[in-house]
Amino acid sequence: MVPPGLPVAWLPPGIEALADDPPLDHDAIAAADGVLTGCALAIAQTGTIVLDHTAGQGRRALTLLPDLHVCVVRADQVVADVPDAIAALGDRRRPVTFVSGPSATSDIELNRVEGVHGPRRLEVVLAG
């Protein structure tokens, strides 16, 4: 899947993209193989991508329901640390999502389970 506003040039040849325009329902999103998005910025120190869900990034459901999230980060979007990220985001009046890897949790016996609160796999492509 791809969100509205994603650059067409980012799509690999031979990939049939399902556009989230008009918005897909949650069942269609969860059934998709994955989602390709951009990001607002990325944090070098923590390996975090930051999504503010504007054009090319998709709405939260689009980035949380599929098992695979591929995120393209342009080199000029990378900041050093969390304080730099907060400063770069400025006074945004919209939800912002910080993602530092694939979703995972552990139960009281420390059994790790992936994909409970988001994608099981996160692939980040640094461009430029």
Report if residue 2 sits inside a domain: no
pLDDT level of residue 21 (50, 70, 90 thresholds): very high
Report if residue 49 sits inside a domain: yes
pLDDT level of residue 5 (50, 70, 90 thresholds): very high
Report if residue 122 sits inside a domain: yes
Residue with tokens 């008009």: 22
Q: What domain count does the chain have?
A: 1
Report if residue 3 sits inside a domain: no
Partner residues linked to 11 by β-bridges: none
Residue 64 contacts residue 71 (beta carbons within 8 Å): no
* Residue 31 belongs to domain spanning: 8-127
- Of 6-15, 17-26, 74-83, 115-124, which gets the smallest average pLDDT? 115-124
